[in-house]
Amino acid sequence: QVHLQESGPGLVKPSETLSLTCTVSGGSVSSDNFYWSWMRQPPGKGLEWIGYIYYSGSTNYNPSLKSRVTISLDTSKSQVSLKLSSVTAADTAVYYCAREKRWSYALDIWGQGTMVTVSS
């Protein structure tokens, strides 16, 4: 059974870089059938797609965040990382990683999510 677990600081200062890691267990991040994706959800609001990475290293990002986002993959550690630079209070949210079916763009397995607050 594939399991995803997000980890990282729960508090980030404005203008700094948010860094999160998603550890995948029970499955391979090198499968060509899946993307590895990040989403976020501000408190009391809806979901926002951030982007995804393929095992080859190719990425695709939300245009509204593209200038600040980097998603990377460490296959040796089965980890997917998210970096979001120059954060503001508007970036305060629960951040989720998920496995995405390549031919359906459906997020079939999600991590539990991790809350990140941007505040000085």
Partner 1 sequence: QSALTQPASVSGSPGQSITISCTGTSTDIGVYNFVSWYQQHPGKAPKLMIYDVSNRPSGVSTRFSGSKSGNTASLTISGLQAEDEADYYCSSFTSDITEVFGGGTKLTVL
Residues of the shown chain interacting with partner 1 in the complex, contacts defined by CB under 8 A: 39, 46-49, 60-64, 96, 101, 104-108, 110-113
Work out how close the CB of 38 gets to partner 1 at its nearest, in angstroms, rounded to a whole number. Answer: 11
- CA gap 26, 2 in Å, rounded: 4
Work out how close the CB of 93 gets to partner 1 at its nearest, in angstroms, rounded to a whole number. Answer: 13
Q: Which is nearer to partner 1, 81 or 114 (CB)?
A: 114
Q: Are 91 and 118 in contact (CB under 8 A)?
A: yes
Q: Which is nearer to partner 1, 34 or 61 (CB)?
A: 61
Work out how close the CB of 85 gets to partner 1 at its nearest, in angstroms, rounded to a whole number. Answer: 20
Q: Are 81 and 7 in contact (CB under 8 A)?
A: no
Q: Which is nearer to partner 1, 71 or 107 (CB)?
A: 107
- CA gap 98, 61 in Å, rounded: 15
Q: Give the tokens for residue 51.
A: 């982007």
Q: Which is nearer to partner 1, 15 or 112 (CB)?
A: 112
Q: Are 39 and 71 in contact (CB under 8 A)?
A: no
